[in-house]
A and B are shown apart, each in its own frame.
Chain A
Amino acid sequence: MAQGQMAPGIVAGRLSSDELAANFDDLHPAYAPHEAAVAADRCYFCYDAPCQTACPTEIDIPLFIRQIQTGHPEAAARTILEQNILGGMCARVCPTETLCEEACVREAAEGKPVEIGRLQRYATDTLMARGVHPFTRAAPSGKRVAVVGAGPAGLACAHRLAMLGHDVVIHEARPKAGGLNEFGIAAYKATGGFAGAEVDWLLKIGGITVEQGSALGQGLTLDALRADYDAVFLSIGLAGVNALRAAGEDKEGVRDAVDFIAELRQAGDLSALPVGRNVVVIGGGMTAIDAAVQSKLLGAENVTVAYRRSRAEMGASRFEQDLAASKGVRLMFNVMPVAVHGNRSAVEIELEYTTSAGGSVTGTGETVRLAADQVFKAIGQTLKGAPEGLELDGRKIRVDGSGRTSVPGVWAGGDCASGGEDLTVTAVAEGRDAAMDIHTQLSA
């Protein structure tokens, strides 16, 4: 018997298994072939297509859509994967509404872009369902490259290097490869164990070894890697989480949103996963939305996203905001946390209203209290555990356009490196481009 939304505290099993299964089903169901054909037919095959320009991996979108239209989704997949080896995951998690689909001329014409993301998924799913890997390796170069971190950037870099004939060892701290594809991202965006399946499929290229439980600072040093390998690529992500800097932050029930999301992604049985009755998420990015929506889907009665700036300044796209609202999440703008109240455990959160004109955030002095037995912190992640000796650019590893760090023989990409948005698709582009630069150097 389900506990129900009103059960007090942080409890598991608020909803029945059937309700949970329905709630966490695919956000955008896969196209059937006829749907794909109709959707593909809407593409105008634009000249110098704006969608392609808007894609961080510069996939030839008009071409792949035309290949779907003419009945060759596998060829379409190849067009996609040549540019973006994680095209299957990107089809699911890319904020297309701010990238390709925002640029689609049909968005300008009628407010209804070609559904590029779903078409990309149709193509990549079709190819991956065949269980074949479309790429082969070049002749062995005899060179070895170390990749640190098996997230999107590391995987993309490793795959491209393997294709070019180099041998790659990926050092991954966690028990599974995939990075945020596996441990981040809302569950309803990557259902059916897709992240893991995609990694397995990617590794079919051969020449890539993944060493789990192997991380910088845990027996692994950059100096040793540089000595043992011909090149090193760092894709260590952002392992730290920003603090709330509000009184009572240490009370029970207050935790990092990324941990909750990871736990949810790894949960075998969602009905065993506890969630509060009154959940407040602090933050305004995708992580905040993912944590809030999933809390609601797990059966929390009241879920609020509290963001210290205005709606227009929110990192999460309007699509994500509307998705949250449609699931019953309340979005509060211009409020910042002041204190978490409660004896040992959180009971209420106190928020102060703000004005956020001109970039700075100023409290107005007026406060409001919300019931909050669970508080998720989603106010950004930070670089943690970066090796000494690397120049930083702000709070990230400084890299040039090719992904080179300040240390010779060491490249970096993904969220840990400077430049670009912290998106899966951007990480893939950076990993791929760094691989090309590494290859050029190793071939010189």
Chain B
Amino acid sequence: MADLKTNFLGIESPNPFWLASAPPTDKEYNVRRAFEAGWGGVVWKTLGSEGPPVVNVNGPRYGAIYGADRRLLGLNNIELITDRPLETNLEEIARVKADYPDRAVIVSIMVPCEEAEWKSILPRVAETGADGIELNFGCPHGMSERGMGAAVGQVPEYIEMVTRWCKTYYDKPVIVKLTPNITDIRYPARAARNGGADAVSLINTISSITSVNLDNFSPEPSIDGKGSHGGYCGPAVKPIAMNMVAEIARDPETRGLPISGIGGVTTWRDAAEFMSLGCGTVQVCTAAMTYGFRVVEEMKSGLSQWMDEKGYSSVNDFVGRAVPNVTDWQYLNLNYVAKAKIDQDQCIKCGRCYAACEDTSHQAISMSEDRVFEVMDDECVACNLCVDVCPIDGCISMVAMQPGETDPRTGKVVQADYSNWTTHPNNPMARAAE
């Protein structure tokens, strides 16, 4: 069995699966259950300032997007930060950390953008013995209207400023949690690094309306006929999250900055993908909220099995392995030529590839009277749509042409060497460089 032990910013945990700051980590009761179930760490649900706690709505906080058989694909929420007294949370954090010294306990914090506020809360958090803090610059709903959460995360200068305060008044690791509700994730990440952040975590949730009630025209979740945008998470956001993680991992200005990956991690495979893109740990919420804490069992056994199969003895063996393969479009090899190939033995003759190609793509699949579907290599641009719509896994594949073969579509011989857009004759910039 591969060793899943993780050391992230000097914080050790028995596995890389942490529960994200969210309802599952709001109180001692849940966190103890999570640790008993085997989670490697938790990021405690966001604490606010001393004083009367925030209040939540008294109607639905969540909305959902479903796939087949009501499988939950995306969840959105309008819940605010913890609505329990600060002192209660701090006491509980201290108790839990004392009882589970081998697990990571990170405390998420969100207080107003004033130095005094941060200066006042940080020593109290430090007293709990927690392993580090996560700055919640991400929540897009509710708190952002009060100048916190995503309202900070959308202004790189604020991120840098607050991060610096935290590094000044707190001596353990500081993780900055980023909002995806920006145009370019690299700017807030750079700001965090400039402020001295030890790591970033992302993504927080995406501003969203999950659905509209077509009887009363209220957005969901509906509170007395009105709705407010919530934060979207769950399996549906994973592709967006992974791209943002990769952008930070490969940005020269933030390269090497530790990342805790968040966004739709549901299975071991999701975790492995995030980690290959540079994440030292992953944080999970929706999967736990959907299936309960014991879902971590599959994540641990799955990741361990995959590591054994690949011969990885430590997570460090594969963290970041995919980062060098993430590049700009302009550097993709234009001499790489592939063609779709349909395995007739596997084909069930549904014709979806034909409909997709004929109606919406390149008219490169033929259909015979007896429903035999074949790729016309002289039309196929290898777009992959047929592969994507085929219901049979592995029935259609993209096969690379070998150097020396002639592409029947272009009449050109496939070249062995690499060539990209930067030097392509159709590129005006390439011509200008000549």
Contact = CB atoms under 8 A, between A and B. Distances in A.
Interface in A33-47: 34, 37-38, 41, 44-47
Contact of A106 (B70, B348, B352): B348
A47 B356 CA distance: 9
A193 to B, nearest CB: 34
Interface in B300-355: 348-352, 354-355
B352 A50 contact: no
Contacts of B392: 109
Nearest to A45: B352
Contact of A34 (B70, B352, B367, B371): B70
Interface of A: 34, 37-38, 41, 44-50, 105-106, 108-109
A44 B352 contact: yes
B213 to A, nearest CB: 13
Listed residue (A41, A48, A49, A106) with the most chain B CB atoms within 10 angstroms of its CB = A48
B391 interface: yes
B114 interface: no
A38 B69 contact: yes
B416 interface: no
A44 B349 contact: no
Given A109-B391, A109-B392, A46 B68 contact: no
Interface string B259-271: 0000000000000
A37 B66 CA distance: 12
Contact of B68 (A38, A47, A50): A38
Nearest to A34: B70
Interface of B: 68-70, 348-352, 354-355, 367, 371, 391-392
A62 to B, nearest CB: 10
A105 B355 contact: no
B424 to A, nearest CB: 36
B69 A46 contact: no
22 contacts: A37-B69, A37-B70, A41-B69, A44-B350, A45-B352, A46-B349, A46-B351, A46-B352, A47-B351, A47-B352, A47-B355, A47-B367, A48-B351, A48-B367, A49-B351, A50-B371, A105-B349, A105-B350, A106-B348, A108-B348, A108-B349, A109-B348
A101 to B, nearest CB: 14
A391 B138 CA distance: 83
B70 A46 contact: no
B64 to A, nearest CB: 15
Listed residue (A37, A38, A41, A44) with the most chain B CB atoms within 10 angstroms of its CB = A44
Given A41-B68, A47-B355, 10 more contacts: A37-B69, A38-B69, A44-B391, A47-B367, A48-B371, A49-B351, A50-B371, A105-B350, A108-B349, A109-B391
Contacts of A108: 348-349
A109 B352 CA distance: 14
Contacts of B68: 38, 41
Contacts of B350: 44, 46-47, 105
A45 B350 CA distance: 8
Contacts of B352: 44-47
A37 B70 CA distance: 9
Contacts of A109: 348, 391-392
A49 B351 CA distance: 8
B298 to A, nearest CB: 23
A105 B69 contact: no
Contacts of A41: 68-69
A45 B391 CA distance: 11
A106 B371 CA distance: 15
Nearest to A53: B371
A40 to B, nearest CB: 9
Contacts of A47: 350-352, 354-355, 367
10 A-B pairs closest in CB distance: A47-B351, A47-B355, A41-B68, A109-B348, A105-B348, A46-B350, A105-B350, A44-B350, A108-B348, A38-B69
A38 B68 CA distance: 6
A34 B352 CA distance: 26
Contacts of A46: 349-352
A44 B354 CA distance: 13
Contacts of A37: 69-70
A49 B352 CA distance: 10
B392 to A, nearest CB: 7
A384 to B, nearest CB: 41
A327 B392 CA distance: 37
Nearest to B66: A37
A138 B242 CA distance: 59
A275 B367 CA distance: 55
Nearest to B373: A47
Given A44-B391, A109-B391, A109-B392, A50 B69 contact: no
A283 to B, nearest CB: 35
Contacts of A49: 351
Listed residue (A34, A38, A49, A105) with the most chain B CB atoms within 10 angstroms of its CB = A105
Contacts of A106: 348
Contacts of B69: 37-38, 41
A44 B352 CA distance: 8
Nearest to A43: B350
A381 B351 CA distance: 41
Nearest to A107: B348
Contacts of A38: 68-69
A122 B348 CA distance: 27
Nearest to B355: A47
A44 B392 CA distance: 11
A50 B349 contact: yes
